[in-house]
Amino acid sequence: MSTLNPAAHGAASHDHSDAHGHHEIGFVRKYLFSTDHKMIGIQFLFTTLFLMLFGGALALAVRWQLAFPWKEMPIIGNMLFSGQGGVISPEFYTMLFTMHATVMIFLVIIPVLAGAFGNFLIPLQIGADDMAFPVLNMLSYWFMWPAMFLFGLSFFVEGGAAAAGWTSYPPLSVLKGAAPGSLSGQTLWLMGITFVGVSSMMGSVNYMTTIINMRAPGMTLFRMPMTIWAMFVTAILQAFALPVLTAAGFMQLSDRVFDTTFFKPGGLIVNNAEATIGGGQALLWQHLFWFYSHPAVYIMVLPAMGIVSDILAVFARKPLFGYKPMVYSLAAIAGLGFIVWGHHMFISGMNPALGMTFMVSTIMIALPSAVKVFNWLGTLWGGDIQFTTPSINCIAFISMFTVGGLSGIFMAAVPVDIYIHDTYFIVAHFHYVLFGSTLFAVFGGIHFWFPKMFGRMMHEGWGKVHFVLSFIGFNCTFFPMHILGVAGMPRRLADPYNYPYLEHLLPLNQFMTMSAMLMGFTQLILIANIFYSLFYGKKVGRNPWNANTLEWTAPSPPGHGNFDILPVVYRGPYEYASPLVEEDYLPQTRYLPNDTGPASTHH
Amino acid sequence: MGKVWSAFFVFWAAAAVGLCWVSPHYGWWLPGEAASPLGTEIDDLFHLILIITAITFIGTHAVLGYVLWKFRTGQNRRGTFTHGSHNLEVIWTIVPASIMLFISLYQMDVWQRYRVKSTFDQQAMRAPVAEVTARQFEWRIRYPAPGKVLKDMPQPDDLYTVNDLHVPEGRPVVIKLRSEDVLHSFFLPHLRVKQDAVPGLVIPVWFEALHSGEYDLVCAELCGWGHYKMRGRLTAEREADFQAYLKKLSETQFDDGVTSQPAEAAEDENSQAAEDES
């Protein structure tokens, strides 16, 4: 894109980074159809944050129904459901949790990690001037929009949005008479998922190519920051797993539209309609779906692990403990991630011998996760720990991920899973992994890289207020869900109190709903802080955190082409508190007399 | 400030453990003691994992709290310059690995008895109590006529109920689980039994109710808008009561309101069957 001539704009433009190229590209090319990885990353960030609020609103409606079943929703109830007296109908309830999961997984968590942080950080941290395929990168963002449009549209078509859960198990999702959401909502859902998949795939190809080919001189694989390793492993996971979901999605679409029978057994009578014809197998979908969606769980947490590893080292002022074990455990999680999908299907009716195999592989995947937790604690041990908004969010990640990891063992153990499968225990578990772990890492990452994105700091005090309220709200909402699960409360029931043995759980659910509201409204603080800081935050220089990695040698914000001069890397990313220098940090690009120079041909 | 954050994370961990500790006293725990022998074993395994994970959780958070307190900034010190320790990595790989391997191997036996057909009680397998067919949003139950064996195809003298499953207590019973439309899940929370009903498959499910009583039958797999109200009832009763129930069911079902002939015939057959069995 830019004809990078280091000498030409190195010293001249570092105080005003937009100086070059600014007059060449207009508003549309710069802010909308930008091919600059930083702008695309920021577009992903703002889009996903907005969608997080939308997905959160859906979740609050679910929580409302669980705390005050069949009660009129205050204020918005009559706007949305005037025909039902402001009450959530059971069919709308099924759409709420289906679309909450869909939005949060496919439009928030995956794009905020890979799309926002992956895009922004990969070229900056490996010392490249942009992604390998900038146009592909732009398309990967814009392919999210049709998906958002289709998901949004599905609420307004006949029957409403998809209502078969985000897992879309057939035959519920395939037979049109089975649920209102299976009329046209499900078709739109499948098309939306395909667009999101194409978007992810374009990102994935781009990330792999960029990381393999475009590292700066001296940036060997084992000098890459953990964030890059995590993005790299995630991109590989995406590339191998996603085609299966895409194919399965098309098969389901074809079952719905062309009346094929991949997933439809014959002789089913739904809603007194004619019996179905065919010889499909409902379980086939579950295998195909989870073959993608289990690796997808790691796609949703590995980049967060990378981010946390980087941020913790910076604020412990100490090298990351066990860099190589951290890399290998990432790879181990990704590898094992391909052979554990069956643990979603222990009681689905698949061969019980498979249950045993998948139990062993699933419990063993907790091992690399445990190794990571110990290494993070080792990183903090002996450090000079600074308690900033990014660091406390990342410390919270360790704590929340521990809970999520440990609760996973309960469900990996097949006999115990017989009882807690599909109860609120699993809901607690994956929220601890996806919200507790990943989103706190994302909050940390936003506060940490905000100065690099916009050249201004976020407000530290409000950052901490946001963290404390989110943390309290989160734990008061989700920790009691373990207890609901142990008490045998199944998920996805519009009115669990229909069963007498669950009636006494109502007060606990009401407490959780209050906490969820606290957590939800707290996110407005984050949004306000971001917009306030965009304009009034304290201006900072290149390296406000005294960090080592390459992005901090670029101007804040970096101009088109990122670096003034092509960075040359002399060492790993975590040389904090090095005895070689007086400062407690030693950037990767800083040349010391004893350095042997980069292995410049190493690509 | 560092001390406050250390206390913050320790407090949350303590609160979490405390909540688990007091929950059983408020009844926020397993719905009573398991009402089946296998359920008791599942509960034991659950508690075993709970103890192991609780120790790990408390240990991790004790270390976290200590580290945040001890190594907080502002003490005029520099971080230790270390890149890791090979020995530590080996230790904290092997120790958790052995614990996890133990957990997974220790679970196999119960799973095998619950799901592997060759381990099922053969007598119960030969004479399934009933066929349970899930459909939106009810459980349809088909019993064989008193004294007869359940056939795969419905028979003219089969007995039918909806949402009301009766089984004899004190011995393993098998039901044949099917679905007429979408996926459902046959969940008996008090007996710790759960099995998905899959359209196109007939899945034998066995369980044993230890005591007479009524238990909830819950659908645990999303099956449509009425999923929440797909509620059934399991009644476990003494063998004699169960036979009497079937007999009464047969009488009601075949009562034409004029003659009482079929019912008597059924009664004869039934007493015959009872004698045969004893």
B29, B42, B181 member nearest A419 (Cβ): B42
Query: CA B102 to CA B237: how far, in whole Å?
Result: 39
Which one, of A367, A373, A362, A365, lies nearest residue A416 by Cα? A362
Whether chain A has a CB inside 8 Å of the CB on B163: the answer is no
Chain A CB contacts of B8 under 8 Å are 468
Q: What pLDDT is recorded for position A571?
A: 94
**Residues near A538 by beta carbon (within 8 Å), at least 6 away in sequence:** A456, A457
Q: What is the pLDDT of residues A447-488, one digit of tens each?
A: 999 999 999 999 999 999 999 999 999 999 999 999 999 999
Using CB atoms, pick whichever of B63, B81, B199 lies closest to residue A577: B81
State pTM to two decimals.
Answer: 0.92
Q: Which residue from B112, B181, B194 is facing A347, i.e. has the nearest CB?
A: B194
pLDDT tens-place string over residues A366-377: 999 999 999 999
Instruction: Name every chain B residue with its beta carbon within 8 A of the beta carbon of A584.
Output: 78-79
d(CA A169, CA A263): 9
pLDDT of residue A602: 44
pLDDT digits over A125-137, tens only? 999 999 999 999 9
Q: Supply A116's token pair.
A: 């926002």
Say yes or no: B25 contacts chain A, CB-CB below 8 A: no
For residue A164, pLDDT beyond 50: yes
| Contact B46/A at CB under 8 A | yes
**Rounded distance, CA A452 to CA A38, Å?**
10
pLDDT above 70 covers a percentage of chain A that reads 95
CA distance A552 to chain B (A): 21
In this structure, are residues A130 and A185 in contact, taking their beta carbons and an 8 Å threshold?
Answer: no
Cis preceding linkage at A557, omega within 30? yes
> Is pLDDT above 80 for A233?
yes
Contact check, Cβ <8 Å, A579/B220? no
Assess whether pLDDT exceeds 90 at residue B144.
yes
Name the residue among A324, A359, A392 with its Cβ closest to that of B5. A392
**According to the model, what pLDDT value does residue A595 have?**
80
Strand order in the sheet with B130-135: B159-162, B138-143, B130-135, B173-179, B203-207
Report how far apart, in Å, the C-alpha atoms of A62 and of each of A163, A451, A476, A516 are.
13, 36, 16, 10
Tell me: the pLDDT tens digits for B76-113? Answer: 889 999 999 999 999 999 999 999 999 999 999 999 99
Nearest to A262 by CA among B137, B180, B133, B200: B200
What is the pLDDT at residue A11? Answer: 41
How many angstroms separate the CA atoms of A193 and A331, rounded? 27
Rounded to whole angstroms, the Cα distance separating B54 from A31 reads: 50
Residue B203: band (very low, low, confident or very high) from pLDDT cuts 50, 70, 90: very high
In the predicted structure, residue A526 carries a pLDDT above the cut 80: yes
The span from the CA of B12 to the CA of A476, in Å, is: 10
| Chain A residues closer than 8 Å to B216 by CB | 499-501
B75 interfaces chain A, CB cutoff of 8 Å:
yes
Running DSSP on this structure, what letter comes out for residue A83? G
Is B136 close to A499, i.e. CB distance below 8 A?
no
Please report which helix (H) or strand (E) contains residue B194, including its range.
strand B193-197
ipTM: 0.92
Residues A172-189 pLDDT 10s = 999 999 999 999 999 999
B97 touches chain A (CB under 8 A): yes
Of the candidates B244, B159, B84, the one whose C-alpha atom is nearest the C-alpha of residue A328 is B84
Cβ distance of B29 and A486 shorter than 8 Å: yes
Q: CA angle A536-A438-A40, nearest 5°?
A: 55
Q: What is the mean pLDDT of residues A81-90?
A: 83
Within 13 Å, how many C-alpha atoms sit on residue B57's CB side? 25
Question: What integer best gives the mean pLDDT of chain B?
Answer: 92
* pLDDT greater than 50 at residue A255: yes
Give B-chain residues touching A484 at CB under 8 angstroms: 28
Of B84, B15, B217, the C-alpha closest to A476 is: B15
The DSSP result for A4-52, as a single string, is --HHHHTTTTSSSGGGTTTTTS-HIIIIIS---HHHHHHHHHHHHHHHH
Is the pLDDT score of B118 beyond 70? Answer: yes
The B residues from 222 to 261 touching A (CB cutoff 8 Å) are 222-229, 231
Give the tens place of pLDDT for each residue, A18-45: 444 445 678 888 888 899 999 999 999 9
Has residue B205 got a pLDDT over 60? yes
Per-residue pLDDT at A506 exceeds 50: yes
Cross-chain residue pair A577–B108, CB shorter than 8 Å: no
CA–CA separation, A352 vs B115, rounded Å? 6
Q: Are B138 and B163 in contact (CB under 8 A)?
A: yes
Tokens of A568: 């040359």
State whether residue B83 sits within 8 Å of chain A by CB.
Answer: yes
pLDDT score recorded for residue A19: 43
Res B263: pLDDT: 47
Residue A6 has pLDDT above 50, yes or no: no
A601 has a pLDDT exceeding 70: no
Q: Residue A441 contacts by C-beta under 8 Å, 6 or more apart in sequence?
A: A304, A305, A307, A308, A393, A394, A397
Judged by CB atoms closer than 8 Å, whether chains meet at B198 and A492 is answered as no
Alpha helices in A214-351 (DSSP H): 226-257, 282-299, 302-316, 323-336
Any A CB within 8 A of B196 CB: yes
pLDDT in tens, A390-409: 999 999 999 999 999 999 99
Q: Is the Cβ pair B9, A396 closer than 8 Å? A: yes
Mean per-residue pLDDT of chain A: 92
Residue contact B182–A270, C-beta within 8 A: yes
Give the C-alpha separation, A234 to A144, whole Å. Answer: 19
pLDDT in tens, A538-589: 999 999 999 999 999 999 999 988 999 999 999 999 999 999 999 999 999 9
Residue A492 in tokens? 């996805």
Residues 6 or more apart in contact with residue A44 via CB below 8 angstroms: A111, A112, A115, A116, A119, A141, A144
CA dist., res. B252 & res. B231, Å (int): 23
Judged by a CB distance cut-off of 8 A, whether residue B89 touches chain A is: yes
pLDDT of residue B269: 52
Are A90 and B89 within 8 A, CB to CB?
no
Mean pLDDT value across residues B173-186: 96
**Region A331-340: what's the mean pLDDT?**
94
Question: B80 and A318: CB-CB below 8 Å?
Answer: yes
Per-residue pLDDT at A4: 44
Position A355, amino acid: G
Residues of chain A contacting B234 with CB distance shorter than 8 Å = none
Determine contact, residues B164/B141, Cβ cutoff 8 Å: yes
Are A487 and B28 a contacting pair at CB < 8 A? yes
DSSP-derived secondary structure for B148-191: SPPPSS--TT-EEEESEEEEESSS-EEEEEEESSS-EEEEEGGG
Q: How many CB atoms are closer than 10 A to CB A247? A: 12
